[in-house]
Amino acid sequence: MAFTTYGSTQVLSGLIGKGSGPLSNCYIALSTTAPNADGTNFTEPLTSAGYARSIIGLSGTSATQVMSSPSGGATSNTSIIFFPEATASWGTVTHFGLFTSASGGNLVLYGTLTNPIAVAANYVPLFRVGNFSLTLS
């Protein structure tokens, strides 16, 4: 897992009191390519194939919080993270990213999926409880 340049700047700003941090809303996205540190080369499947980002947290809205409270520099999902059912192939997703909005927005951090997912039509990609984790060291 790595922060983008944007994400690093936002986290540091939040830590030193020069900002509120990077995310008040957090969306997980999938990519078929390896992202770059500047936030480019994040290739999401087509929305016309049924793809959409999945929300993993809205500030102040407990019903959308699917990640555990961080402890020891780590957090993992406490609820299943679902993506919409694919209506056509998405290809093989190999990376994930956390974004500031449901579409567009800024890529804050990204990482490689331990197990790439080949998403065919009628498949529902998901992360079962405890299978998606983030660790800072």
The DSSP symbol for 6 reads H
Q: Confirm whether pTM is higher than 0.75.
A: yes
Cα separation, 85 vs 137, in Å, equals: 34
The DSSP symbol for 103 reads S
Convert the pLDDT of each residue in 49-79 to its tens digit: 999 999 988 766 766 678 888 888 888 999 9
Q: Where are the domains of the chain?
A: 2-130
Distances (CA, A) of 50 to 41, 106, 111, 119, 128: 21, 21, 23, 11, 20
Convert the pLDDT of each residue in 76-105 to its tens digit: 999 999 999 999 999 999 999 999 899 999
Cα separation, 70 vs 40, in Å, equals: 28
Closest by CA position to 67, among listed 83, 81, 50, 54: 81
